[in-house]
Chains A and B, each alone.
Chain A
Amino acid sequence: MNFEQLLISAKNGNSDAKAKIFDMYMPLLIKESLENRVFDEDLYQELQEVFLQAIKTFSI
């Protein structure tokens, strides 16, 4: 399954597809959750929500 198909099924609520895309972007979310080299757990959780929201609202 290519990225576009994965994204389409994630948009349709497929949890496996969401998990696969999440695995791809997890390093980015972790990197963005660092502030002065300290990991901000709260920010990481909020960015996970932003990620899920982005899947929902992104138009292919």
Chain B
Amino acid sequence: MDNQEKITQYRFTAYLMKSIANHKARYGKKKKRLLDAEELFGDFNDLLPEHQAQYIENDIYSEGIQNAALEKAIAKLKGRDAKILLLHLLEDYSLKEIAALLNIKYNSVLSIYARALKKVKDEMGDNNNEF
């Protein structure tokens, strides 16, 4: 193996190591987010709708929501709709990330989110500018 070849191989190895390190950092963050989301919403979909509403009302999923009317409005949403709304507004997930997380199309997330937001707004009355 001549010197030039060695240098190319070392450079490639260094480049690969750097790519791996960058990817692992992203992977760690992604995994943590998934685990957090699972912890937060783990059995949410397995619950009956009235229990889901109760959960939200009991402040288990509504950490950070101070407004009682808003809480009630969110409690009236379907499980998945509430999940998307809360993930986006409270957990700062982008709609694209939510689509990947829930394994549904981006456009579906978009329309569910818009519909959920409208429902919450309607529920709270037109005068409320919470969002």
Contact = CB atoms under 8 A, between A and B. Distances in A.
Interface on chain B toward A: helix, strand, loop, or mixed SS?
helix
Interface string A28-60: 110010000000000100110011011000101
A54 B15 contact: yes
B27 A46 contact: yes
Interface string A1-18: 011100100000000000
Contacts of B1: 2-3
A58 B15 contact: yes
Interface of B: 1-2, 4-5, 8-9, 11-13, 15-17, 19-20, 23-24, 27
Question: Contact residue range for chain A?
Answer: 10 to 19
Contacts, number: 44
B12 A50 contact: no
B16 A3 contact: no
A51 B19 CA distance: 8
Contacts of A54: 12, 15-16, 19
Interface of A: 2-4, 7, 25, 28-29, 32, 43, 46-47, 50-51, 53-54, 58, 60
B8, B9, B19, B20 — most chain A CB neighbours (10 Å): B20
Contacts of B4: 4
A50 B27 CA distance: 12
17 contacts: A3-B8, A3-B9, A4-B9, A7-B8, A7-B12, A25-B13, A25-B16, A28-B13, A32-B20, A47-B20, A47-B23, A50-B16, A50-B20, A54-B15, A58-B12, A58-B16, A60-B8
